[in-house]
Each structure stands twice: as C-alpha cells, then as structure tokens.
Amino acid sequence: MLIARSGTKSNGIQIITDFQDNKTNGHTHQQLKIKGMKRVLVTGANGFIGTNLCKRLLGENLHVRGVVRPGKAILLPKGVEATHVESIGGDTAWGNALEGVHTVIHLAALVHVMKDSASDSFAEYRKVNVQGSEHLALAAAQYGVKRFIFMSSVKVNGEGRSTPYKEADIQEPQDPYGISKSEAERVLHEIADQTGLEVVILRPPLVYGPGVKANFLRLLKVVDRGIPLPLANVNNHKSLIYLENLVDAIVACINHPKAAGQTFFVSDGEDVSTIELIRRMGSALGRPVRMFSFPPFMIRLGGRLLGKSAEVERLLGSLMVDCLNIKRELDWKPPYTMDQGLKETGRWYLKRRNISRKGAKTLI
C-alpha cells in the first residue's frame, strides 16, 4: 500500500491528507483520509456524474454540499446537504453556499440548447458555461476556497483525429459547447493567476455507466434488440471512461498537491473501435451482435442527407486521449477495466428494461 502525506493550512484549519492505494474487491481506488476539511461543494450534484460522486465523497467521510435547483433536493443521495440555486450564470447569488468550503467541484453545465439553430444559442452556452464558471470561481476565491475542480470536455480539443489528444495540443473546438468550455478554461486560469485559487481541469471523453443516456443508451438498445448494423467495415479508435473511473479521478484531484494548476485527460486507459465496443456491449447484455459490410462513405452520405452528420461521425470517427499526465503526476490509474464498466452498465440496463416490461404488462 502506497501512502503519501501532505499538510496545508487553509483559513487557519490544518488539513492533513493521506493518499492510499486502497484495494476493494480487486479494484484500486484513490482514498482520502482528511482531517479538518469540512465541506466539498458539488454543482450538478443530482446529475449522472454528480450523484455517484456525492456517494463516493460521503463514503470518504466528507461533508458534501450539493447544488440543485429548487424542488430537486429529493434527488440527492442521503446525507448530502442541499443548496438551491435557480440557475447558474454571471449573477448567481452563491451567498452562504461557499461558507466553510475547501473544494468546489463544478460539474454543472449547459450541454444542449433546445434549439441549437437559434441566434442566441451561443449566448446561452456562454452564460452558463463561461460566465457561470467565472462567477462561481471568483466567489469561491473570495470565500477562501482552496481548490476548484472544473469538469471540462475533450471537445475543447476538437471532434477527433487519428492520433490521441494531449493536454498541450492547440484547442480547436468545433461547436458552441466545446467553444464555451474552452473559454471557461481560459477564464479559470486567469482567475487562478490573480487570486491563488488552485484550479484543476479534467477533460473526459464519452462517459458511460449505470444511468447513462443519449447516444450510448440508444446503442445499448440497438444491441439488445439484435438489430443488424452496417459497421463491419468501420476502422476507428475511441477513448471512453467508465463513470466510477471518472469519480475516482476526481477524488484523486481533490487534495493531491501536484494536481493544482493542472489539466488532465482521463479515460479507461484502453481505446477500442466501434465494432469492438458493440461486441463488448453484446457480451455484457448476453446478446449476439450482428454486423454486415457497408461502405462508411455511404453511411456518412446518408447522415448528411438526414442532417445527422455529427451523430454519424461520432460513430465512425476516431477520438482518443492520452492519459499519461494524470498517471505520471498523480500516480492515478483507473480502478476498473472497460469490460468491468460495461458489465455494470449492462446489468443496470437489463434491470431497467425488465422493470419497464413488467410495468407495461401490468397496464395491459
């Protein structure tokens, strides 16, 4: 068992942290033993990542304060102190939400605008993702918060290429969401330079796990139904990250002295093709996978004709990240393999599907 100890003072509170490689059921987790650290504030606490993160932080015996909209506190894990905000932007009244907080973990973000073609959609992304992050970070610095962990995205670097992205690569975001995240990163670095707030930025690729939605859930449904897919000729590589691996990386960043000022890509540490991912999904669901050959350029053409080019490219293109930095600086490695993550995701999906079917039978 490897242990590293660091001690710092924040607002007169002695903070002592032990980092351990803690093995549970064969998985090595980042474990914190923190004395004197009263509170961690988590925005987006009732979301896909936030819910699981809050549970993990509670398990680390931290006081967790979760930011949710009014009426949503019931969705928080038991033991999380709820803080209500109407919306996140440049004028959010954070008030006492930051009182006594050591670390802010900023997960909340605007990911989709209902009408992306609207002329003011870009302004909406900036309002939440840039101005909201800036306002929260400035308020955090004023309240003496020590560390600010910002959940960014691989999309600040682009939509994919044939080689893995690295943290030092030129940022080339392609859509309003990626651009807003890139601008937020730049603003947060400026605040860190001006105030001494320790900013840590995480850039995950696609996150999957129990509770996943959107394209990953749709693909699970397609595999479960045994629908033949025209993907046998696809040759690409994808980085993904299992939800619990991402949570573990966040925990590693909370108080590790080498995390301050860093930007980290994170993933499962294994890149797979779309074909291989679908095969592993089938294995996790106990379903045979059917694929047939079809020219990828024809699939892309169909996507353009249907106005679905972005969705098709996410399926056919390559998008990889290099995680060497976080492994080297924080000695972090994902505690779960991709197969283990997919197995847990498959178990959740099948349970969800079976409950839905039972409900449908009851209504008949």
For every residue of the chain, which 3-state class applies, written as one string?
CCEEEEEEEECCEEEEEEEEEEEECCEEEEEEEEECCCEEEEECCCCHHHHHHHHHHHHCCCEEEEEECCCCHHHCCCCCEEEECCCCCCCCCCHHHHCCEEEEEECCCCCCCCCCCCCCHHHHHHHHHHHHHHHHHHHHHHCCCCEEEEECCHHHCCCCCCCCECCCCCCCCCCHHHHHHHHHHHHHHHHHHHHCCEEEEEECCEEECCCCCHHHHHHHHHHHCCCCECCCCCCCCECEEEHHHHHHHHHHHHHCHHHCCCEEECCCCCCECHHHHHHHHHHHHCCCCCECCCCHHHHHHHHHHCCCHHHHHHHHCCECECCHHHHHHHCCCCCCCHHHHHHHHHHHHHHHHHHHHHHHHHHC
Q: Residue 13: its pLDDT value, please? A: 26
Q: Which residues are marked as active site?
A: 177
**Distance from the Cα of residue 345 to its chain's centroid:** 16
- 104 forms beta bridges with 41, 148
pLDDT value of position 15 = 28
pLDDT of residue 217: 95
Amino acid residing at 224: D
What are the structural domains of the chain?
3-208+242-269+320-335 (3.40.50.720)
| pLDDT string in tens for the chain (364-residue length) | 333 333 333 332 222 233 345 555 555 555 554 445 468 999 999 999 999 999 999 998 999 999 999 888 888 989 999 999 988 999 998 988 999 999 999 999 998 765 555 557 888 999 999 999 999 999 999 999 999 999 999 999 999 999 999 999 999 999 999 999 999 999 999 999 999 999 999 999 999 999 999 899 999 999 999 999 999 999 999 999 999 999 999 999 998 999 999 999 999 999 999 999 999 999 999 999 999 999 999 999 999 999 988 889 989 999 999 999 999 999 999 999 999 999 999 999 999 888 777 665 554 5
pLDDT digits (tens, 9 = 90+) for 201-255: 999 999 999 999 989 999 999 999 999 999 999 999 999 999 999 999 999 999 8
Provide the whole-model pTM: 0.86
Cα(213)–Cα(203) distance, rounded to whole angstroms?
19
- Residue 278 backbone phi and psi in degrees, to 5: -65, -40
Q: Note whether 90 and 126 are within 8 A (CB).
A: no
Q: Provide the token pair at 185.
A: 């990163």
Residues in the chain, total: 364
